[in-house]
Amino acid sequence: MREKVIVITGGSGGIGATLAVLAASRGARLILAARREKELREVAARCGPGALAVPADVTRREDVERVLAAALARFGRVDIWVNNAGRGITKLVSELTDEDLDDMIRVNVKSALYGMQAVLPHFIGRGQGHIVNVSSMLARVPYAVQRSAYSAAKHALCALTANLRMELAERYPHIHVTSVHPGVVATDFGLNALHGGTDSHAIPGAQTAEQVAEVIAGVIERPRADVYTRPDGQRMVCDYFAAEDMGEAERRPPFVHRLPSK
């Protein structure tokens, strides 16, 4: 990771901030993007004098393009682009509004699409690069029905990620495209969810942001297509999709069907 130029969206807190500090400690050059300017600059300061903070709303295509331009102006290249920005929701499918679904798609899918499309010509021109999209276990399995539209958005992100990977595979084998699937992480994700929600720090078994950042750092150092941050994550997904009757599988642990907790 030393001397690699890494863009991280959602870099003002949680997984993004933790990954930034870890990557900086391993010699990476950082460009951090997020809407919260004060917090973003504080994280950049923790990463050392070379880190660049670019206040931006990554749900706006022009802001994402500005992040890329700033990275190229500072470092001359980008090696890894991490689409980490995202937000949850606490709302059952039966209760969703148009605005709820639009918000989840805008924050969790379009922001990543803008990042992929912005950096891809640069990667193609160099013949190499790595896009890392931070998805979720909820993109694979319906563990928490109150995260309905978030789960749907992350499903969509996984589909875009896989299709881009296949699009590039033959002509550009040195451009890697990765999905990373965390489970529950002890960050402010739950508190920041649309319509509020349970504090993720209080959920038993939640991973630390440091544990998740280590997994992402590992996939940056050794690119793979699809990665789970919990050791048992991939097995859980395989068991669910291999079930003869998914409905029966959903009636057994670890699936959760509680009503939203405010």
The residues annotated with a catalytic role in the active site are 150
- 140 near 249, Cβ under 8 Å? no
CA 172 to each of CA 129, 162, 167, 227, 236: distance values in angstroms, whole numbers, following the listed order: 10, 15, 9, 21, 32
Q: How many CB atoms lie within 10 A of CB 123?
A: 24
User: Which has the closest alpha carbon to 63: 21, 104, 110?
Assistant: 110
- 262 near 90, Cβ under 8 Å? yes
Question: In angstroms, rounded to a whole number, what is the distance separating the alpha carbons of residues 81 and 97?
Answer: 32
Question: In angstroms, rounded to a whole number, what is the distance separating the alpha carbons of residues 7 and 129?
Answer: 12
β-partners of residue 155 are none
